[in-house]
């Protein structure tokens, strides 16, 4: 049997290729939008991709099923009853797919979505026992899939479905069976997901809290730990229901000069400039009104929290390679209206255009400021768990997603320093606050990790 896991860094998306080298066929499960990795793996292992399986309609990333189907001719298969509007083959509970020595059995496991499925994999060359489970977004390593994405009216039903799928549908499988989920650490499809890419059913039964609880505390814990919903999730779901636009049909991303950039930003207040440079470069000088979402593996996740998916976007980075990476990453999460890019800020500066400034403050300077000015505000934009692990005395806490979605209110002239764990999220938050009219905003370089390393007190 051939088996390979593929990971999208930053998003925590996991996909799989299963096949049989002797038979020469393979299927891909939950493909990411850019499909070259699967084509390369198939070519290197002399396999032909003859099927594409979706364990559910994804909410956090655009599926690559349509793209892979176009390039291979393989049909798309998804759980029976899934409300998709593209050509597909339905998969029913108990269906089997045989690829030489590889057997795949379909298990209906609703909970994350009403029509979710899991896959039980058997290597027939070694015996007739199930060796592994591809659990989709039902069971993660250390957690389970959130039940709320199908809509509030289905929430209670989905919670009951999830409990039944975990405790009844998976009950027939022994402890030694390996589990391979559709997401790992970094995904917002569940809370507290481990960074480990796989586990065993027995280990999860003994350590995963959701596998040990009776229904009432299971429901309470699941509702309490549901992550926030990024603003692009609805768009992603709708796109995946219809089938994603092929990448070859998307508009080309062309280079802009300062004049065309200025015109683009003036045409529509919804048009967005995302500055991908590191925090200190953005802080020194940037195009006014731009968002600083630095080039990083999780940048697409934060774009999904900050930028409306219908917005037209320009990108600014140090070089074309960073632009190309960002385009791939952002298209994975539904941002297809990337109109152009600018490399570097020098052209803007030499055109005598106005630049913005976001002061970067070290933890040492912040410590001195707080000793001297008792009215200086510290805004901590980390999540609740990070906040509880230790924070600066007197700091205000507002997690970045809350700041984005609910806003932040204080005097626009208030002097405030924004802090996170490392300085990445604080620059996003500070750039948003500057855009919303706050005049005296600082971003703390190195964040709370550096504050603690410096030996300064925290609560």
Would you state the pLDDT for residue 354? Answer: 94
Instruction: Write down the pLDDT at residue 191.
Output: 84
At residue 423's C-alpha, the angle toward residues 426 and 327, to 5°, is 80
Quick one: which of 157, 113, 173, 105 has its CA closest to 138? Answer: 113
Contact (Cβ atoms closer than 8 angstroms) between residue 213 and residue 173:
no
Q: Which pLDDT score, from 0 to 100, does residue 228 have?
A: 83
Query: What is d(CA 115, CA 108) in angstroms, rounded to the nearest whole number?
Result: 7
pLDDT at 153: 86
H helix intervals, 299-375 = 299-306, 320-332, 346-350, 363-372
Q: Give the mean pLDDT of 269-279.
A: 93
The domain over range 250-350 is classified in CATH as 3.40.250.10: yes
For residue 227, pLDDT beyond 90: no
User: pTM for the full model?
Assistant: 0.92
Q: Helix, strand or coil for residue 15?
A: strand
Query: pLDDT tens-digit profile of 13-46?
Result: 999 999 999 999 999 999 999 999 999 999 999 9
At 141 the pLDDT is 97
Among the options 20, 189, 261, 420, which is catalytic? 420
* Architecture in CATH for domain 360-453: 3-Layer(aba) Sandwich (3.40)
Nearest to 429 by CA among 394, 388, 396, 391: 396
For the chain, the domains span 2-236, 250-350, 360-453
- Domains 250-350 and 360-453 equal at CATH topology level: yes
- 348 Cα distance to chain centroid: 32
The answer to whether 30 and 55 have CB atoms below 8 angstroms apart is yes
SS3 242: helix
261 is an active site residue = no
* Protein fold of 2-236: Metallo-beta-lactamase; Chain A (3.60.15)
């Amino acid at each position: 049997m051939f088996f390979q896991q593929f990971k999208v860094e930053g998003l925590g998306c996991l996909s799989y290729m299963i096949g049989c080298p002797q038979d020469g066929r393979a299927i891909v499960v939950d493909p990411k939008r850019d499909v070259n990795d699967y084509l390369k793996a198939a070519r290197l292992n002399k396999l032909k991709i003859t099927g594409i399986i979706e364990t559910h309609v994804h909410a956090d990333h655009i599926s690559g099923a349509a793209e892979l189907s176009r390039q291979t001719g393989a049909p798309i298969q998804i759980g029976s009853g899934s409300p998709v509007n593209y050509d597909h083959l339905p998969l029913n509970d108990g269906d089997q797919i045989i690829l030489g020595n590889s057997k795949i059995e379909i298990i209906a496991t609703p909970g994350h979505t009403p029509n979710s499925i899991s896959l039980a994999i058997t290597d027939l060359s070694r015996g007739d026992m199930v060796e592994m489970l591809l659990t989709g977004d039902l069971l993660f390593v250390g957690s389970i899939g959130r039940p709320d994405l199908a809509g509030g009216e289905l929430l209670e039903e989905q919670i009951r479905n999830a409990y039944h799928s975990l405790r009844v549908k998976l009950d027939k499988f022994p402890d030694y069976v390996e589990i391979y989920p559709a997401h790992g650490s970094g995904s917002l499809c569940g809370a507290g997901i481990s960074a480990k890419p796989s586990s065993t059913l027995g280990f999860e039964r003994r350590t995963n809290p959701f596998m040990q609880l009776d229904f009432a505390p299971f429901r309470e814990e699941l509702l309490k730990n549901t992550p926030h919903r990024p603003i692009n999730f609805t768009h992603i779901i709708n796109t995946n229901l219809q089938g994603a636009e092929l990448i070859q049909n998307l508009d080309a991303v062309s280079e802009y000069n300062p004049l065309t950039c200025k015109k683009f930003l003036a045409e529509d207040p919804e048009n967005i400039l995302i500055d991908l440079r590191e925090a200190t470069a953005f802080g020194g000088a940037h195009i006014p009104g731009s968002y600083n979402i630095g080039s990083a593996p999780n940048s697409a996740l934060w774009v999904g929290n900050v930028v409306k998916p219908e917005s037209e976007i320009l990108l600014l980075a140090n070089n074309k390679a960073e632009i190309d990476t960002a385009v791939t990453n952002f298209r994975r999460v539904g941002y297809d209206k990337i109109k152009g890019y600018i490399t570097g800020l020098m052209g803007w500066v030499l055109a005598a255009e106005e630049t913005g400034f976001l002061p970067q403050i070290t933890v040492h300077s912040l410590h001195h400021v707080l000793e001297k000015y008792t009215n200086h505000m510290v805004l901590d934009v980390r999540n609740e768990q990070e906040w509880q692990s230790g924070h600066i005395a007197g700091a205000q806490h507002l997690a970045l997603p809350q700041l984005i979605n609910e806003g932040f209110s204080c005097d626009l002239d208030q002097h405030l320093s924004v802090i996170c764990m490392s300085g990445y999220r604080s620059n996003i938050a500070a750039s948003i606050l500057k855009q919303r009219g706050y005049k005296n905003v600082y971003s703390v370089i190195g964040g709370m990790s550096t504050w603690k390393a410096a030996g300064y007190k925290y609560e």
